[in-house]
Every structure is written in C-alpha cells, then in structure tokens.
Amino acid sequence: YDTMPEVKIGEYKGLEIEAPVCKIGKKDVDRELEQLQEQNSTVVEKADDAKAEKDDIANIDYCEIDAEGNEVEEGKREDFVFTIGTGYNIYKIDDDIIGMSKGEEKTIEKEYAEDDSDKSLAGRKVTLKVKLNSLKIKELPELDDDLAQDISDEYETLKDLKSSIKKRLTKSAEDMVKQKSQQILIDKIIEGSDFTVPESMIKAELDQAWNHFISQSRMPEENVLQIIEAQGKTKEDMLEEWKPSSEKNVKSYLITEKLIEDEKIEVSDEEIDEELKKQAETAGMSFEDAKNYFKQNGMEIYLKNELSSKKLFDLLLKTAEIKEGPKKDYLDLMQNKE
C-alpha cells in the first residue's frame, strides 16, 4: 500500500526567475474597440439592385443536382444564411455568390481536391442550383462619444472608454504574468526538492484529468473513445502522455501544502468574507447569497485553500529575484503562445 511521502523541499526563498513582460499598446485597445463596434452593429437590407460582396450576409436557397439533372434531397437547403467570405457553408461557394443580385438564380459547378478537408466532397465534381433571396450588410457604429455612452453610463467620452479598456487589459496582463511567475517558481522548487510521489496519487490525478477531458468534450465517453481510436490511440496511450504533467501537479500540490504549514500561513474569517464579497460582486449576487451558496456546496474549504496558496505565493514572489524575461504580445501572453 502507498503511504504519504515525506516531502523534502529544497531552497524556496530568494530564487531567481524570469517573468514575461507585456505592455498594452494602441493596437490592443483598437482591437477591443473593433469588437465593441461589432457587438453594437446593426444589420440592414441592401438595395434591391445591389450586388453581393464579401462580408455581406446572404440568404440563399441551394440544391445539388445529380448527373441526370435531378435534385439531391439531402443536398438541398432553403433560406440558408451565411456571411460571404467566412466559408461557413458546406459547398464553399463564397466566391461564386459574389456579384449575384437579389432574386438571381445561378448554376454553379464545383470540383474539389482529392485531399479536401471535407471527406464527403473530396475528389467530387458537384453541380449546384443557387438562388439569392436577400442581401444584408452589417453597419458599424462610429467610434465616438455616442458609442461610449451607449456601451455604459460610466463613460462620457470615447477617451473614457479607451482608458477603461487599457486599464482592464493591463490588469489581465498583470494577472497572467503573476500566474506564469508562480508556475516558474513552483517548477524551480520542484527541481530542487527530493521526494517520490505514490502511484496511487498520480492515478487519482490522471482519473480527475480524464473526467475533466470528457466533461470538456461535451460528448459521451464512448464517443470520445471512438474519436481517439480513429486517431490510432487508446485511453491508456493518452493517460501515459499525461503522466509527467500529472506527477508535476501532485508534487506542486504537496509542496504548496507543506510550505503553507511550514510558513504558518493562516486565513481569517474576515479574509474569506472579503474574497466572497469580491466574487459575489463579479457574479452579480448579494454577499449573503454567495456565502450561502459556498456553504451549501461545501466550497468554503476550497476557498480557504485558494487564499492560503495566494498568500504563500505572494510571500515567495516578494523574496524572489524577478528579472525581466521575453517581451510578449498581449494575445500571445493570454493564449500561452511561445
């Protein structure tokens, strides 16, 4: 049987680490503004004599025609709506729709490569009958004070909105840099520590990882297994691939628990309530409702552990020698791109 290992931790204070650097620039703010424009856009009908163009929203009827000129029922759709240029249609007819007018009918012949990503089309020649029912266009609002005021009452001018965006992105980047710094720090502590993780703990971590993987797929486990098998793998193969990271996760947990104990880190009821108030505000709940929810679901202990870990790493990062690492673009940083 397995026993809890004696966790022998090496140096953990005063460690030297490199943290990524991320500065929020004009392009980051502009990207967010473009998204807000999209979210506040309106869709209007194009004129009857207008021609279909890229980015127009098209409503079409289409039908596949077989060699004898008959309609193929399973290849038939009415009032199919898609944005021209996105490729969000089965037969990839974006370029063929461009130039058509409302009410126009057209016969399109398509030939697909043998290695086409859609196996149902690969290597085929297809004839389609298409009718363009309507065209709409997305109108974006002007980037001005009116847009800022429409987004929220807290903004009077576009400058206010830009300032708020930059502040939010800066906070997100700082949080991610801190998260990465903590991971670099715990990795260094693991390297300098000496203990063996029991197989039963690694197995439990792998089981949890597998259950999370199935949950994220939003499919029954048997369907996931079929997809994996189609890729020439088994569940056992995947668990074996995950084993090193699962072992590191367990070591990280054991080291964190040991350091919280050694450093005598405690979390008061007042600190728990303060964190609950923050989470309640974010979730749009009252403090009492949030507190009852955590209590009824047995989540108070998890919140306490989370706050204990936060206090520990705040302490360790204060003692660490943090040097500037590579400069990171905001999106690369947030998406964990190297």
Show pLDDT as tens, one digit a residue, over the chain (338 residues): 567 788 899 999 999 999 999 999 999 999 999 999 999 999 999 999 999 999 999 999 999 999 898 999 989 999 999 999 999 999 999 999 999 999 999 999 999 999 988 888 889 999 999 999 999 999 999 999 999 999 999 999 999 999 999 999 999 999 999 999 999 999 999 999 989 999 999 999 999 999 999 999 999 999 999 999 988 999 999 999 999 999 999 999 999 999 999 999 999 999 999 999 999 998 889 999 999 999 898 888 999 999 999 999 999 999 999 999 999 999 999 998 76
- pTM score, whole prediction: 0.76
Residue 189: predicted pLDDT:
96
Helix orientation angle between 269-283 and 300-319, rounded to the nearest 10 degrees: 100
Question: What are the residues whose beta carbons fall under 8 Å from the beta carbon of 334, sequence distance 6 or more?
Answer: 172, 173, 176
The identity of residue 220, as a single letter, is P
**CA 24 to CA 165: how far, in whole Å?**
10
Question: What are the residues whose beta carbons fall under 8 Å from the beta carbon of 326, sequence distance 6 or more?
Answer: 18, 20, 21
Q: Among 225, 196, 232, which Cα is nearest to 210's?
A: 225
Q: Among 337, 317, 338, 333, which Cα is nearest to 23's?
A: 333
HSE of 221, CA atoms in CB hemisphere, 13 A: 5
Residue 298: predicted pLDDT:
87
Residue 338: predicted pLDDT:
67
- Judged by phi (left if over 0) then psi (alpha if -120 to 50, else beta), residue 85 lies in left
Residue 4: predicted pLDDT:
78
Residue 275: predicted pLDDT:
94
Q: Where are the alpha helices (DSSP H) in the chain?
A: 26-39, 94-97, 145-151, 158-191, 199-217, 221-230, 235-262, 269-283, 287-296, 300-319, 330-334
**CA 238 to CA 236: how far, in whole Å?**
5
